[in-house]
Amino acid sequence: MTRVGVEHIEDAGGTEGIDAAFGKGPSECEWELVKPLFDGLRREQFNLGKATLEFYDEREAELLTSDEQEYLKRLRDNPRTEAQDEDEEFYRQHRTELKEQPSLKSKWDRFVFGTAVETEDFVQGIALCLRWLFDEDFTSTRRRLTIRSDRRTKKDRVLSASLRDRN
């Protein structure tokens, strides 16, 4: 038997109404009696266009052109699962601004880049990542790639020390 607990009802004026309705105390209601209250409730699906419009509504108006606002309205009204050229272009133009809200930036990253790209070849994987990280549109920005590993062996420490001594 699944029971549903109702907290702080005594503080709100008593449990007489609930006791009368269910014939039991509020913490002793069976789930089957309460379940219909929650049937049909669904979590609202995330809308990237809507969330991005809301993000920019809270910022300066000149951050978006009228064409970009129209683009976001189209994305809001017609959500899609795979990014197209205009989606990638918008992302490239605005990704630094989107960093102000990490959860939204993460949604854009997933939308534009898709799920993680896995490869058996380490160098190929790095090349694919660098393609997106060091986009040619942002050549004036100084960028640095740091690769760290959680697992280190004694050999790794010796190699790291010798490389550091050379520089």
Cα 62 versus chain centre, distance: 25
For every one of its 167 residues, what pLDDT tens digit does the chain have, with 9 covering 90 and above? 444 444 444 444 555 655 555 555 555 667 777 777 777 777 778 899 999 999 999 988 889 999 999 999 999 999 988 889 999 999 999 999 999 999 999 999 989 887 776 788 888 888 877 776 666 555 556 666 666 666 667 666 665 665 566 54
Domain limits, the chain: 3-37, 48-113
Question: In this structure, are residues 78 and 139 in contact, taking their beta carbons and an 8 Å threshold?
Answer: no
- Whole-model pTM: value is 0.51
pLDDT reported for residue 149: 65
